[in-house]
């Protein structure tokens, strides 16, 4: 059941699109720009990681706030809140850019983080899709909602690629920073290249990574087709 007030749904969609755009631009642009412009190496990595952590915090808060507009189910809301809180807390410990934490079975902590984060993101995607296909949703809200979902697909599949990259150190081919705290940043950048149907950032990926990329591309294109069909049907 929709719990939006007049105008709040459109504002929420716009807010999330803007936040995700800024966060994804940082992922794709900041590190390489600092390297190219100033020749920075460690500083470029540290800067992009710090901005990423800040952006991720804002993003999580934003999409959870979006979910609260679309459902009043306390079980769903509390489950997603716990999932995001657990993912963020553990992620900050194991991927802190300022100090390296040595943990036994660290890859399983990565798996926990991305399982929780992806569960939350896919849940928000589900409720957002339901909302933008609702008869009461305006055309403008549908367009902004579709853009919001489109970007969230990149985040969700970025988590899946991150898990593959953690479990298989060769999954990204010769990616120089995979295995460091930049794993998820690089995984999300790869996800964006798949989503945008551009030349993929990493070409020599593992067969599993390539097959997940096909699933992401098909899902994204199907979503676009459905949205266009819904817009034309009104």
DSSP annotation of 107 reads H
Residue 89: is its pLDDT beyond 80? yes
DSSP annotation of 180 reads B
Instruction: State if pTM tops 0.95.
Output: no
In the numeric block, which tokens belong to residue 76? 């769903």
Residue 228: is its pLDDT beyond 50? yes
- Of residues 29 and 3, more confidence is placed in 29
- 161 SS3 class: helix
Arithmetic mean of pLDDT, 85-101: 77
| Summary mean pLDDT of the chain | 82
Percentage of residues in the chain with pLDDT exceeding 90? 14
Per DSSP, the residues of the chain read ---PPTTHHHHHHHHHHHHHHHHHHIIIIIHHHHHHHH--SHHHHHHHHHHHHHHHHHHHHHHHHHHHHH---HHHHHHHHHHHHHHHHHHHHHT-SSSPPP-TTHHHHHHHHHHHHHHHHHHHHHHHHHHHTSTTS-HHHHHHHHHHHHHHHHHHHHHHHHHHHHH-TTTTTT-TTBTBTTHHHHHHHHHHHHHTTS--S-SS--HHHHHHHHHHHHHHHHHHHHHHHHHHT-
Q: Which of 49, 78, 53, 51 is nearest to 64 (CA)?
A: 78
Q: What is the pLDDT of residue 177?
A: 55
End-to-end CA distance of the chain: 22
Q: Residue 77 and residue 124: Cα distance in Å, rounded?
A: 10
Per DSSP, the residues of 7-38 read THHHHHHHHHHHHHHHHHHIIIIIHHHHHHHH
Q: Residue 63 and residue 120: Cα distance in Å, rounded?
A: 9
Range from 5-19, 120-134, 174-188 that averages highest in pLDDT: 120-134
Phi, psi of 180 (to 5 degrees): -100, -170
Q: What is the pLDDT of residue 42?
A: 75
């Amino acid at each position: 059941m929709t719990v939006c007030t007049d105008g709040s749904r459109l504002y929420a969609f716009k807010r999330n699109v803007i936040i995700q755009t800024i966060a994804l631009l940082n992922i794709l642009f900041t590190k390489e720009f600092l390297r190219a412009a100033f020749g920075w190496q460690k500083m470029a990595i540290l800067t992009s990681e710090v901005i990423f952590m800040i952006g991720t915090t804002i993003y999580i808060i934003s999409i959870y706030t979006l979910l609260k507009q679309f459902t009043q189910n306390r079980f769903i809301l509390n489950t997603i809140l716990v999932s995001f809180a657990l993912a963020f807390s553990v992620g900050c410990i194991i991927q802190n850019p300022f100090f390296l934490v040595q943990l036994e079975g660290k890859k399983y902590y990565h798996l926990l983080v991305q399982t929780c984060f992806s569960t939350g993101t896919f849940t928000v995607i589900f409720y957002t899709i339901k909302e933008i296909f609702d008869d009461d949703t305006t055309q403008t809200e549908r367009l902004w909602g579709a853009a919001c979902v489109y970007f969230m697909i990149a985040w969700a599949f970025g988590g899946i690629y991150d898990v593959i990259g953690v479990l298989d150190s060769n999954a990204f081919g010769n990616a120089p920073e995979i295995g460091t705290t930049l794993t998820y940043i690089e995984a999300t950048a790869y996800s964006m290249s798949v989503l945008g149907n551009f030349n993929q950032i990493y070409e020599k990926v593992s067969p599993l990574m390539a097959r997940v990329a096909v699933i992401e591309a098909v899902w994204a294109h199907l979503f676009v087709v459905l949205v266009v069909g819904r817009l034309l049907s009104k």
